């Protein structure tokens, strides 16, 4: 009889038991208390040891030839000016770990001596592991800080515009803001109306940045609907959560939410439906905003008729919604997608202003939230506790960039840019080290990124599979998956904690990020600082003891490590009361002021106004985007592209797995299009189409769907970039060959992916083959 072994583990998309048979992974079974498990996990079963798995260190052929010469002549002058044009297309040579570590340490020493630490970029974006210890980004930052620092990135691709503007408005850090969102039980018990700008993207709620114990969002939405809460979805798309909640669907042109809300605000103000007492007691700057609302400052009253021409929504619909919101206990939500567009700061700020005008902030079931269903944990009823994490140390280098400005940094060193009231310059980066992320998924305008990746002297990556990032690197170090090492799963918005047992031995010669950085640290003489002389098991026990100490101080107990390790999944920290956003501020604003300059909610922010940004004024404002369905560009590109998260993978992770592959159409990523737009172009289900604009083009397979309104197409992100020609044509369906790489504004410099117009036509030529799932050319010399 085969010997089947079951061990607990966890990912960003859920908690599972991994099953092995004869030391091979054979199954992934959900944690029994997770009533809505994600199927994303299925993708790892056939990809963990597939042909694309990187099993030994590799170095790009052209780079290896030149750096071997430099190592042999290290006493002579070394420029580091190596050939870079073949990044992305060069052959790779397998090398020993010993040689790979020697080359990495040699190159890091060279750059540190010649250019100083600010020439290292290690701003790698996370999501590689849900464990507390083997968090790739933390390991990378700890390593570089042990070596003297690095240029870092700030903010996230998920909500950069929002996390930059909202502290000016409500004073809270974005993490604190998300941690204290009004919880779903409070919404269920007290709300009457839920107005959703951008809907509730349930596919996104499969994941959480700190990992998922139990998926709860769908269950909460169902319970709210059963309780009689009315849902209104204001969005260009209707998604699963909107159907479950039986939401009324108001179809809106993408990027015009701020104009719609201004129309609602105009009715609230002019028909005396505003809570003046709340505005006077808890807010500042309403009068200045109101002058804009009424047209005193710009000659344009923001009437429903004005808003209707911009949004495509009938003015009576705007009027009726304003009336409903004023009469009911209303929760206003905003999807993160709203702010991933040009001037994205405005929509989330305006949601806050609408909630202020209704005067229900801090009351049960009222107010606002930004990101419900964007991750599973937002709004989870949980007793929040700050768990320990791997110490990253202080970064001595002050240089940084907003995360989405990576291409600009690499292409234009020394160029000035603005960010959140400061004037900065892009550093001159000589070495890029990436671990636990994939910029060829996140970054806009991939042709530009390919050019940017040809600029540094060296690019080093820790990678699991031969994805686009690995193929554009010089040195590729094979990394383990979560199933090939031990870790601890503790989630910040979830009561579930668990050991993450090593399930199988590392594939090939792959190593954990900790092992990789430990080996490099030994060569750089920083090993003691980086490792503190602990191995993996000692680190896990150390972190667990820190967790036990913090738990004791918070009046709850955790088992000693060996019992925790043996007992598997456990539930801790049941909530003792419901959470209401800004409840204490509402109860006593004098003794509980919010940390804004005024101590109040800033409808008008003098701080932001004094930055003098034309693209981000001192109060919420309708600013017309360069690309939207009301622009002249629609004559050439009449469809607006929404490139949201997929339902069958996390970002680009596991695109090589069966769960992602089974939804492809003739090998291409599927694109949803409304039947009217499909008929106009003579398209049928299953057709392969070319989506194109002035920046690039890609191929995708047609799905005709009423889930998208006319004029809209939805192409998920995450298809592995498979370029032809100059890099602007992806034959696989990556939408970021189409998106413009511009900041949301001078304030946040966040990604603006949703401000993208395209045209579509049937692809009638011979289909180019998909090559990204073939190994790169590997030679043994």
Contact call for residues 23 and 30 (beta carbons, < 8 A): no
Q: What is the 3-state secondary structure (H, E, C) of 404-430?
A: HHHHHHHHCCCCEEEECCEEEECCCCC
The DSSP H or E segment spanning 28 is: strand 24-30
Q: Look at residues 157, 132, 102, 258 and name the one whose alpha carbon lies nearest to residue 625.
A: 258
CB burial class (10 A; 0-12, 13-18, 19+) of residue 566?
Answer: exposed
What is the signed CA dihedral for 631, 633, 634, 637, rounded to 10 degrees?
-150
Q: Look at residues 442, 376, 362, 350 and name the one whose alpha carbon lies nearest to residue 162.
A: 350
How distant is the alpha carbon of residue 705 from its chain centre? Answer: 26
DSSP for 465-482 reads B--HHHHT-SEEEEB--G
Out of 31, 63, 125, 433, pick the active-site residue: 125
Q: What tokens were used for 383?
A: 């007793």
Strand partners, 424: 417
How distant is the alpha carbon of residue 206 from its chain centre? Answer: 13
Q: What tokens were used for 96?
A: 């020993």
Length of the chain: 781
Is 127 among the residues known to form the active site? yes
How many Cβ atoms from other residues are within 10 Å of residue 613's Cβ? 17
CB burial class (10 A; 0-12, 13-18, 19+) of residue 154?
Answer: middle
The DSSP H or E segment spanning 347 is: helix 345-358
Q: How far apart are CA 298 and CA 291, in angstroms?
A: 9
Q: How far apart are CA 664 and CA 298, in angstroms?
A: 49
Q: Is 306 helix (H, G, I), strand (E, B) or coil?
A: helix
Q: Look at residues 688, 697, 775, 774 and name the one whose alpha carbon lies nearest to residue 730.
A: 697
- Sign for the pseudo-dihedral over CA of 181, 187, 190, 196: positive
Helix-helix angle 315-327:304-311, to 10 degrees: 120
E-assigned strand segments in 32-103: 58-60, 92-94
Pairing of strands 248-250, 230-234: parallel
Out of 16, 63, 127, 720, pick the active-site residue: 127
Contact call for residues 724 and 742 (beta carbons, < 8 A): no
Contact call for residues 12 and 209 (beta carbons, < 8 A): yes
Q: Where are the alpha helices (DSSP H) in 643-776?
A: 658-661, 675-680
Q: Is 29 helix (H, G, I), strand (E, B) or coil?
A: strand
Number of H helices and E strands in the chain, helices first, is: 26, 31
DSSP for 628-641 reads STTSGGGGT--EEE
- Residues belonging to the active site: 125, 127
């Amino acid at each position: 009889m085969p010997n089947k072994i079951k061990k607990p583990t966890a990912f960003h998309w859920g908690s599972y038991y991994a099953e092995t048979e004869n030391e091979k992974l054979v199954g992934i079974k959900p944690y029994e208390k997770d009533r809505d498990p994600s199927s994303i996990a299925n993708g790892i079963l056939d990809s963990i040891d597939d042909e694309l798995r990187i099993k030994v260190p590799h170095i790009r052929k052209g780079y290896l030839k030149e750096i071997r010469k430099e190592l042999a002549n290290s006493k002579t002058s070394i420029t580091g000016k190596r050939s870079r044009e073949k990044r992305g297309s060069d052959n790779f040579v397998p090398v020993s770990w010993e040689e790979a570590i020697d080359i990495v340490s040699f190159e890091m020493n060279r750059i540190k001596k010649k250019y100083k630490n600010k020439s290292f970029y290690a701003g790698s974006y996370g999501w590689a592991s849900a464990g507390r210890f083997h968090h790739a980004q933390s390991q990378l930052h700890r390593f570089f800080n042990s070596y003297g620092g690095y240029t870092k990135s700030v903010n996230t691709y998920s909500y950069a515009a929002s996390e930059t503007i909202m502290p000016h408005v409500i004073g809270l850090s974005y993490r604190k803001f998300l941690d204290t969102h009004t919880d779903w039980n409070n919404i269920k018990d007290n709300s009457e109306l839920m107005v959703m700008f951008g809907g509730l993207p349930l596919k996104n709620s499969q994941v959480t940045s700190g990992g998922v114990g139990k998926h709860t969002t769908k269950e909460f939405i169902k319970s709210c609907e059963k309780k009689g809460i009315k849902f209104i979805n204001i969005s260009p798309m209707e998604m699963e959560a909107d159907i479950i909640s039986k939401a009324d669907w108001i179809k809106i042109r993408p990027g015009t939410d701020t104009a719609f809300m201004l129309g609602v605000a105009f009715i609230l103000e002019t028909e005396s439906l505003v809570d003046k007492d709340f505005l006077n007691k808890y807010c500042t700057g309403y009068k200045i905003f109101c002058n804009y609302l009424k047209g005193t400052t710009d000659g344009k009253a923001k009437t429903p008729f004005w808003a209707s021409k911009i949004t495509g929504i009938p003015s009576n619909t705007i009027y009726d919604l304003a009336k409903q919101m004023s009469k009911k206990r209303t929760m206003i939500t905003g999807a993160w997608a709203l702010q991933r567009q040009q001037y994205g700061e405005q929509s989330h700020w305006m949601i806050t202003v609408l909630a202020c005008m209704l005067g229900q902030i801090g009351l049960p079931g009222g107010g606002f939230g930004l990101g419900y269903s964007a991750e599973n944990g937002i709004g989870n009823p949980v007793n929040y506790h700050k768990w320990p994490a791997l110490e990253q140390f202080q970064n001595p280098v002050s240089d940084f960039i907003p995360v989405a400005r990576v291409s600009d940094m690499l292409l234009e060193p020394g160029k000035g840019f603005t960010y959140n009231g400061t004037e900065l310059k892009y550093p001159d980066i000589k070495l890029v080290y990436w671990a636990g992320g994939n910029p060829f998924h996140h970054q806009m305008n991939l042709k530009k990124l390919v050019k940017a990746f040809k600029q540094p002297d060296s690019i080093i990556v820790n990678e699991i599979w031969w994805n686009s990032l690995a193929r554009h690197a010089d040195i590729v170090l094979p990394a383990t998956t979560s199933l090939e090492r031990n870790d601890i799963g503790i989630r910040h918005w979830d009561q579930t904690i668990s050991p993450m047992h090593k399930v199988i031995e590392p594939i090939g010669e792959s190593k954990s990020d900790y092992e990789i950085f430990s080996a490099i640290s030994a060569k750089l003489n920083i090993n003691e600082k980086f490792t503190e002389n602990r191995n993996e098991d000692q680190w896990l026990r150390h972190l667990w003891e820190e967790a036990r100490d913090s738990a004791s101080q918070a009046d709850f107990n955790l088992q000693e490590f060996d019992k925790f390790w043996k007992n598997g999944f456990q539930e801790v920290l049941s909530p003792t009361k419901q959470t209401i956003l800004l409840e204490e501020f509402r109860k006593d604003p004098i003794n509980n002021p919010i940390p804004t300059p005024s101590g109040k909610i800033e409808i008008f922010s003098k701080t932001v106004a004094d930055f003098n940004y034309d693209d981000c004024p001192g109060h919420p404002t309708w600013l017309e985007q360069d690309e939207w369905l009301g622009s002249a560009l629609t004559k050439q590109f009449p469809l607006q592209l929404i490139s949201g998260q997929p339902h069958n993978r996390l970002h680009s992770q596991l695109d090589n797995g069966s769960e992602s592959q089974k939804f492809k159409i003739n090998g291409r990523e599927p694109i949803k299009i409304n039947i009217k737009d499909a008929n106009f172009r003579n398209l049928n289900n299953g057709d392969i189409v070319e989506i194109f604009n002035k920046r690039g083009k890609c191929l995708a397979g047609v799905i005709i769907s009423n889930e998208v309104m006319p004029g809209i197409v939805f192409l998920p992100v995450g298809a592995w970039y498979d370029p032809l020609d100059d890099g602007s044509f992806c034959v696989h369906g990556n939408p970021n060959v189409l998106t413009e790489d511009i900041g949301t504004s001078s304030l946040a410099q966040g990604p603006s992916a949703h401000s993208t117009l395209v045209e579509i036509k049937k692809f009638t030529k011979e289909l180019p083959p998909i090559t990204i799932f073939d190994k790169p050319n590997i030679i043994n010399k």
